[in-house]
Homo-oligomer: A and B are copies of this chain.
Amino acid sequence: MNKKVTSRTLKALETRKNILECGIRLIGEKGIDKVSIEEIAKAAGVSVGTFYYYYPSKKELLQGMPWRIDKYFEQEVVEKLTAESCAENIKTFFYYYARHTKMHGWQIIKNLFITDTAFVISDKRYLQLVLLDLVNKGQNSGEVSCGLSAKQIMRLMLIAAHGVVLDWAMVRGKSNVFTDMQEVTGRLFNSFLV
């Protein structure tokens, strides 16, 4: 039985969401260890008690974030991966990867790497599946070499992409993540073409 939707539950949902968003923004700006709960609460216009009413700790806030890249890809990117050429789709894939990265600020990227990374990886599963699918199709169409398994190729591509994102986070957003991404993944992917 679902909870009834009343003006109260609606407002509560909004509060919850508001806290999440303010928290993510602040963490993104300053890093998780440099933002206090009080700061987040104040930014969201609620009391610390309210923060804890919705989230048992600061870390929980981060849990609300990472699915976003999955969601982002699921809702906005996948539909654009319909080019004939595999290379084209791969290019699109990593373009949006870079885009998503930039949307969230370099601090948050760094924090994603910091916090227990296991879940970051697991939450990226969807992403991996999409990329794997692209590679598979490329191999089936004869565009991509079968020298390495699709899974291996996917891994190597993501590793390189992570490098780009990390570099961008390390120089505090001062590098051009789009061109770097394109250069690195583009060149690497070329090595997998027949």
- Number of residues in A with C-beta < 8 Å to the partner? 31
Q: Does A187 contact B (CB under 8 A)?
A: yes
Which residues on the B side are within 8 Å of A114 (C-beta)?
A: 110, 113-114
Question: For chain A residues 156-190, which have a beta carbon within 8 Å of chain B?
Answer: 156, 158-164, 166-167, 169-172, 180, 183-184, 187-188, 190
Say yes or no: A167-B159 contact (C-beta < 8 A), given A110-B114, A187-B188.
yes
Q: Does A129 contact B (CB under 8 A)?
A: no
Q: Does A13 contact B (CB under 8 A)?
A: no
Q: Does A118 contact B (CB under 8 A)?
A: yes
Say yes or no: A121-B163 contact (C-beta < 8 A), given A188-B188, A191-B190.
no
Q: Does A43 contact B (CB under 8 A)?
A: no
How far, in Å, is A184 (CB) from chain B's closest CB? 6
Residue of B118, B120, B160, B169 touching A163 (CB-CB under 8 A): B160
Complex alpha-carbon distance, A120 and B159, angstroms: 19
Q: A117-B170, A160-B184, A184-B188 are in contact. List 10 more A-B contacts (CB 8 A).
A: A110-B113, A113-B114, A113-B166, A114-B114, A120-B170, A121-B167, A159-B160, A159-B166, A162-B163, A163-B163
